[in-house]
Chain A
């Protein structure tokens, strides 16, 4: 068939009816499958959150807001409060991020911009191997190798030199036993560096070379290219990588329980032992001998869920404000 200016047209009558029907039904089935996969993920997330909230209802009902303000953890008198584990989780993860982000940025920039090409593959492989080490190995290495090193060399130095400073010194008090918040933070940092570095490196490599060449052509140094082209271009991915690492650090269990000390005490000093939510759950879940104890532990798990959700929400908000600022123009 042709139309008014002799162009051939395809009309529906040219197709066999069976193929037309199978196309739309195939489309519909695919839509259904893909949609249900997406909704399944959402459903599982909601189900996990709800089941934990349900398990912890006993504790929330009995303690109310006191659960988030009390430092008790008394299984004999059945009084529980979440402050010490939450504090430990947040502080050890903050230390880990504070140490890991500069190092990861440095490694990723080195690998993509500065290192000779032949060095890229071996160092990348080494970093990926670091990521593959199980966390309990980190815990054991931490306890048997790193803790003595901390207690004999690093902690005495910190206590002697930083301890006497008024204000900041309060972070460095205590006996140099090697086990504590700072050690746990450093081990966590070593664990999350590979994850953050891998994502950053991939994303830095994906920056179009035309942009970088243009910058270089205008006479900028390597650092100026990185600062003005690479980092702004990959900003959202970099923030995403950091929060990926933070998420791993918040939930890390075995490495932390070996070196954090499992002490239910709230101490300001980084050299004192503490406790984290994941370590508390790992240690005490199997023999919680009363309903209140079990409910408090599940409530603690729900709190970890909330903490992770809040950090991700902050990440999203940060990205949103950055993108909005970008859209408005600098």
Chain B
């Protein structure tokens, strides 16, 4: 100690201390990502736990799936997250790899004073007619026929949709296109569509806000937002004809019946799943990363984060009402990483 207390050694000791301190800080990587608002609740939960465990930080901007796709193509972030999978030729042209990270559901929410959560029953074609503007009142015969025991008001339905481009929208209109030929020809599917009626909220939060605010309105949000904001949701009739409540079990049933093995680059949309207890509007969130990343260190940190999330983070996902990926799918994803992403874990 007397060696370090001499005047000439103090600057050296100080320099050594600074080097040690900054070396500790430099090993903590910052992983940047952007995209889907759907996955934001679970990503922020995972990033907090991962940071406590390893010190690596995740900086995720929930700007919408379209934004995530644009940002990863521009290589401004380490990974992009999107509810809409990209086809393999688009991925190959951009040099991207794609894999699912979490599964959830899109739920129709409404604001009706006289109806409790989970009581209202709707079918796919009815939802399409409401969003097309063909069914305009809550006491329309089509709705009353399905909900004989409920008191529905003689009020106009205010439709709430997304004002920004969104993978949530993509899954919603993909489902409507599957169940309503009129929707398919008139509006089509995409992250941003030409809505025939309704007002637009920005993000899942915006739609949830508007539906909570405006009486006799109907909208669609991710299930996590439904639980967190305690909103009124409806039962939807699935492909087999059963009315299904949105829940982790019904999403899992939809994910289980999906054919992942034959989906190249996991390009599969799991709406209108065939199972008897499957929820019809289930959605997967896909992560896109570069096959040959410019910054290998950050990509490696990102892949380690996703590895941790897929292996140990599934319990937190379930707690936030997402669906854990089936174990075979997790194995399939890890094989895919070895084959396509040139980063050694």
Q: Interface residues of B: mostly helix, strand, loop or mixed?
A: loop
B188–A289 touching, CB < 8 Å: no
Contact stretch, chosen from A59-67, A87-95, A107-115, A172-180: A172-180
CA distance A263 to B198 in the complex (A): 6
Q: How far is the CB of A277 from chain B (nearest CB, A)?
A: 14
The verdict on A286 contacting B67 (CB below 8 Å), with A177-B214, A257-B202, A262-B199 known, is yes
Contact stretch, chosen from A40-48, A49-57, A143-151, A208-216: A143-151
B66, B199, B201, B216 — most chain A CB neighbours (10 Å): B199
B194–A179 touching, CB < 8 Å: no
**Quick one: which of A120-155 are within 8 Å of B by CB?**
143-144, 147-148, 151
A289–B70 touching, CB < 8 Å: yes
A273 at the interface (CB under 8 A from B): yes
A27 at the interface (CB under 8 A from B): no
Question: Which B-chain residue is minimally distant from A151 (CB atoms)?
Answer: B214
CA distance A148 to B66 in the complex (A): 32
CA distance A288 to B156 in the complex (A): 32
B202's partner among A151, A263, A283 (CB-CB below 8 A) is A283
The verdict on A287 contacting B187 (CB below 8 Å), with A148-B213, A177-B158 known, is no
A262–B201 touching, CB < 8 Å: yes
Contacts of B194 in A (CB 8 A): 72-77, 264
B69 at the interface (CB under 8 A from A): yes
Q: How far is the CB of B184 from chain A (nearest CB, A)?
A: 11
A175–B156 touching, CB < 8 Å: yes
The verdict on A175 contacting B158 (CB below 8 Å), with A76-B187, A287-B69, A287-B191 known, is yes
Q: How far is the CB of B89 from chain A (nearest CB, A)?
A: 15
Please give the number of chain B residues whose Cβ is less than 8 angstroms from any Cβ of chain A in the complex. 37
Q: How far is the CB of A74 from chain B (nearest CB, A)?
A: 4
A287's partner among B156, B165, B195, B201 (CB-CB below 8 A) is B165
A286–B193 touching, CB < 8 Å: no
CA distance A301 to B67 in the complex (A): 19
Q: How far is the CB of A157 from chain B (nearest CB, A)?
A: 17
CB 8 Å contact bits of B44-77 with A (1 = contact, 0 = none): 0000000000000000000111111110000000
A261 at the interface (CB under 8 A from B): yes
B191's partner among A72, A148, A289 (CB-CB below 8 A) is A289
CA distance A42 to B237 in the complex (A): 62
Q: How far is the CB of A159 from chain B (nearest CB, A)?
A: 12
Contacts of B210 in A (CB 8 A): 179
CB 8 Å contact bits of A283-297 with B (1 = contact, 0 = none): 110111100010000
Contacts of A293 in B (CB 8 A): 192
CA distance A287 to B163 in the complex (A): 11
Q: How far is the CB of B112 from chain A (nearest CB, A)?
A: 14
Contacts of A75 in B (CB 8 A): 165, 190-194
B213's partner among A143, A175, A273 (CB-CB below 8 A) is A143
CA distance A42 to B164 in the complex (A): 34
B125 at the interface (CB under 8 A from A): no
The verdict on A77 contacting B200 (CB below 8 Å), with A257-B163, A287-B165, A288-B66 known, is no
Question: Which B-chain residue is minimally distant from A280 (CB atoms)?
Answer: B163
CA distance A72 to B196 in the complex (A): 11
Question: Which A-chain residue is minimally distant from B193 (CB atoms)?
Answer: A76
A179's partner among B155, B195, B214 (CB-CB below 8 A) is B214
The verdict on A262 contacting B165 (CB below 8 Å), with A75-B194, A287-B192, A289-B191 known, is no
CA distance A257 to B200 in the complex (A): 9
B199–A283 touching, CB < 8 Å: no
B326 at the interface (CB under 8 A from A): no
The verdict on A284 contacting B67 (CB below 8 Å), with A177-B158, A262-B200, A262-B202 known, is no
B202–A76 touching, CB < 8 Å: no
B189 at the interface (CB under 8 A from A): yes
B213–A287 touching, CB < 8 Å: no
B188–A179 touching, CB < 8 Å: no
A286's partner among B64, B214, B215 (CB-CB below 8 A) is B64
Contacts of B192 in A (CB 8 A): 75-76, 284, 287, 289, 293
Contacts of B199 in A (CB 8 A): 177, 179, 261-263, 273
Contacts of A73 in B (CB 8 A): 194
Question: Which A-chain residue is minimally distant from B214 (CB atoms)?
Answer: A177
CA distance A144 to B212 in the complex (A): 11
**Quick one: which of B166-210 are within 8 Å of A by CB?**
166, 187-195, 197-202, 209-210
CB 8 Å contact bits of A244-262 with B (1 = contact, 0 = none): 0000000000000100011
B188–A147 touching, CB < 8 Å: no
Contacts of A283 in B (CB 8 A): 163-164, 200, 202
B164–A76 touching, CB < 8 Å: no
CA distance A76 to B165 in the complex (A): 11
Question: Which A-chain residue is minimally distant from B167 (CB atoms)?
Answer: A287
CA distance A151 to B213 in the complex (A): 10
Q: How far is the CB of A253 from chain B (nearest CB, A)?
A: 11
CB 8 Å contact bits of A268-308 with B (1 = contact, 0 = none): 00000100000100011011110001000000000000000
Contacts of A289 in B (CB 8 A): 66, 69-70, 165, 190-192
Q: How far is the CB of B141 from chain A (nearest CB, A)?
A: 20
Question: Which B-chain residue is minimally distant from A272 (CB atoms)?
Answer: B199
The verdict on A284 contacting B195 (CB below 8 Å), with A77-B188, A175-B156, A261-B200 known, is no
Chain A residues in contact with chain B, CB under 8 A?
72-77, 143-144, 147-148, 151, 175, 177-179, 257, 261-265, 273, 279, 283-284, 286-289, 293
- Report the 9 A-B pairs with minimum CB-CB distance, sorted nearest first: A287-B66, A262-B200, A262-B163, A287-B165, A261-B199, A74-B194, A286-B67, A75-B192, A76-B188
Return 22 A-B CB contacts under 8 Å, by A number.
Answer: A74-B193, A76-B189, A76-B193, A143-B213, A177-B217, A257-B202, A261-B200, A262-B201, A262-B202, A263-B197, A283-B164, A287-B67, A287-B68, A287-B165, A287-B166, A287-B192, A288-B66, A288-B70, A288-B165, A289-B69, A289-B165, A289-B191
